[in-house]
Amino acid sequence: MALDNIHIDYFKQLLGEENAKIDSLHKVAYSYDATRESREPDMVLFPRDEKDISDILKYCNENLIPIVPRGAGSGFTGGSIAAQGGIVLALEKHMNKILELDTKNLIVRVQPGVINKDLQNFAESHGLFYPPDPASENQSTIGGNVSENAGGMRAAKYGITKDYVVAIRAVLPNGNIIRAGKKTIKDVAGYNIAGILIASEGTLAVISEITLKLIAKPKIMRSAMGIFDTIEDAMNAVYKTMASGVTPVAMEFLDNLTIRAVESKFNKGLPTEAGAILITEVDGNLEEEIQYQLELIESRFKENGCIEFKVAKDSKEGQDLWFARKNASQSISIYGKKKLNEDITVPRAKLPELLERIGEVSKRYGFKIPCFGHTGDGNVHTNVMVEDLKDLDKGHEAIVEIFKIAVELEGTLSGEHGIGLAKAPFMKLAFNEDEMNLFRSIKNAFDPNNILNPNKMGL
């Protein structure tokens, strides 16, 4: 249903023509995310501040106009797509400022459209550290990161976005503004509303300001790689190392199919016969600390079948070791026209069984399923590669199998990409009716008219 002219005129008046767009260029540019699914909104609005967000939401609520918040549109589940048309509320254009750095309390206050890497660089320029580093760090916004609870390579040691959020300001669908959390590290007064907003995928409120914790930046970092004959050995090495008194910053893996794909594309001399490689990184302030951690990791790896362990001598060698992991996602496209990628996560000790059972799914359905990812936190990117598009339905059946396995192993449908549109049909695999009803009650308490990002998360 197209947006009435009366509404279009209201928004143009409110924000100025330059911030209220209905031309096809803007509609197309704000119609998709990284899923490459798309639906054109009727209008794209660029709020200049929190008051604009409040006025826009109040009007949408009174007139029952669907509205979808959007950061950079780098999401992998269709969360920022206007599935029912209506308005896309684009936060990256004006609301992208770092508002305050409090070096006495190690706190930073930002608008939602700040790009993750800009915040990391800003923190580093003050000798501080903002650890969450999703691979989309150069595009994705802090508002999007909070709304998806994004994680990155450093999550094994430093945790994910939620571990850094201390307070949020947000605008409710009726236009009212709420504050959740404080500048303090501890706050147990009242319900944890900030906790509910984190990972809420723009379905409950529009996040208008975020206060984040920063930490001290370690001075030394060192990377290493372990090569394994079998994937089972590598997965055993992951959980046994992580449980042995060392917490590496990162513990990433590539399986044989992924190693071969990167090698065929980039010719980097990777061990194409290996069952898997693990790439790890440690940090600290003293060389002795670094050596201690690396020695412990090497011995745990070798006890679990590691046939070669290489430590990077300098940052250039470190970057070389990371090259394969950083280029894994694009390289595996050699295996099929359509990549059905998921980000299931299991407790780390279940990784060997998970990978074995994914191997069985691959054989049973006849699809190559290259896997790589953040094994340090049990998060595996599984990629069902569909060669012939007529097999797409069968590909989706294989995905359902993989989700079922993750849930059976006490894991989750998504470690970092969220549910959005893409995983909405699978929520019932992970949650019973009572749990889904509780989600619906929470949605209804925030958004009784269902105007904010409707049709998402299977609600």
Ligand X SMILES: Cc1cc2nc3c(=O)[nH]c(=O)nc-3n(C[C@H](O)[C@H](O)[C@H](O)COP(=O)(O)OP(=O)(O)OC[C@H]3O[C@@H](n4cnc5c(N)ncnc54)[C@H](O)[C@@H]3O)c2cc1C
Our CB check for ligand X shows the closer of 134 and 370 to be 134
Question: Which residues 190-219 are close enough to bind ligand X by CB under 6 A?
Answer: 201-202, 206-207
C-alpha–C-alpha distance, residues 398 and 396, integer Å: 5
Spatial CB neighbours of 417, under 8 Å, sequence gap ≥ 6: 75, 76, 77, 148, 342, 343
Q: What is the 3-state secondary structure (H, E, C) of 158-169?
A: HCCHHHCEEEEE
Candidate ranges 131-139, 181-189, 359-367, 436-444; the one touching ligand X (CB under 6 A): 131-139
Buried b (16+ CB within 10 A) or exposed e, 93-107: ebbbeeeebeeeebb
Binder among 15, 45, 60, 150 for ligand X (CB under 6 A): 150
Q: Is 145 in the site for ligand X (CB under 6 A)?
A: yes
Rounded to a whole number of angstroms, the minimum distance from the CB of residue 369 to ligand X is 19
User: What pairs with residue 38 in β-bridges?
Assistant: 32
Binder among 20, 87, 91, 351 for ligand X (CB under 6 A): 91
Q: Is 411 in the site for ligand X (CB under 6 A)?
A: no
Our CB check for ligand X shows the closer of 253 and 301 to be 253
Determine contact, residues 114/72, Cβ cutoff 8 Å: no
Size of the site for ligand X (CB under 6 A): 36
Candidate ranges 134-142, 212-220, 221-229, 288-296; the one touching ligand X (CB under 6 A): 134-142
CA-to-CA separations, 166 to 87, 126, 214, 421, in angstroms, rounded: 30, 20, 10, 28
Q: Is 148 in the site for ligand X (CB under 6 A)?
A: yes
CA–centroid distance for 305 within its chain: 31
In DSSP notation, 380-408 reads EEEEEEESSGGGHHHHHHHHHHHHHHHHH
Binder among 72, 225, 361, 406 for ligand X (CB under 6 A): 72
Give backbone dihedrals phi and psi of 349, rounded to 5 degrees, phi first. -70, -10
Q: Is 252 in the site for ligand X (CB under 6 A)?
A: no
Binder among 86, 151, 275, 352 for ligand X (CB under 6 A): 151
Q: Is 111 in the site for ligand X (CB under 6 A)?
A: no
What does the binding site for ligand X look like in residue numbers (CB under 6 A)?
33-34, 68-76, 79-80, 91, 112, 134-136, 140-141, 143-145, 147-148, 150-152, 201-202, 206-207, 416-417, 420, 453
